[in-house]
Structure 1
């Protein structure tokens, strides 16, 4: 039995410790907001936060998780949507939407580490999170808007 702190709750699974965190979240815990994209940590669709750091859950064995996990389902707080989620809606980022939870979680990790990133820092941090629809300009705008909202 493996016990994890996920989205502020203590949850348990009987899946083997070598099972990727992605499958524990989706199949073991029913948290399907985290998406399977490539399975080799190259696309970013499976990004979650572990202790505030963006990680690719498709390549992280659950037995190696050391810290609290936050998924897209846990990003919003008691007061409502996270500023990134609000900015995503306001900037109309999503097209097909498949990559969006990974994009938002990568951006959340960035803003935790660097609340006021430059455009270059945003682009560097988001490099590797792929969007087949090409929504990159709107993603950049949403991150900048969220950063501004969080600052004041």
Structure 2
């Protein structure tokens, strides 16, 4: 998918643009999804690619949404990030190439991973809206397939 930066600047908020396109990090505890726990999907704000399931979200007290795993392994790409005098593993969306956040080895079992993701890179799709928003194929992941 080819991104048009001018279109993205009008589609996204300034924070969403900075995070997804310029690899910024939003402030902890001051974002929409860090303590949000409704059932649904989290998708890339740029491409709409489904990234995370609400059942894999957990409270990590880090100030950003945290997930134990992506919805599909191929949906996220891991890259070495040596910025800010640290070595971390950055995660980006495969389809949209959006900067999402970082993954750390301090999460819950069984994966032991914590995908620490910027709210600004995500759009939440509640279960009741999956069909309407074009994510009907994921309805079976919730309530035994009953939306």
Question: TM class by shorter-chain length?
Answer: under 0.3
Q: TM-score, normalised by structure 1?
A: 0.25
Q: Using structure 2 for the length normalisation, give the TM-score.
A: 0.25
Structure whose residues are more often strand by fraction: 2
Higher share in helix = 1
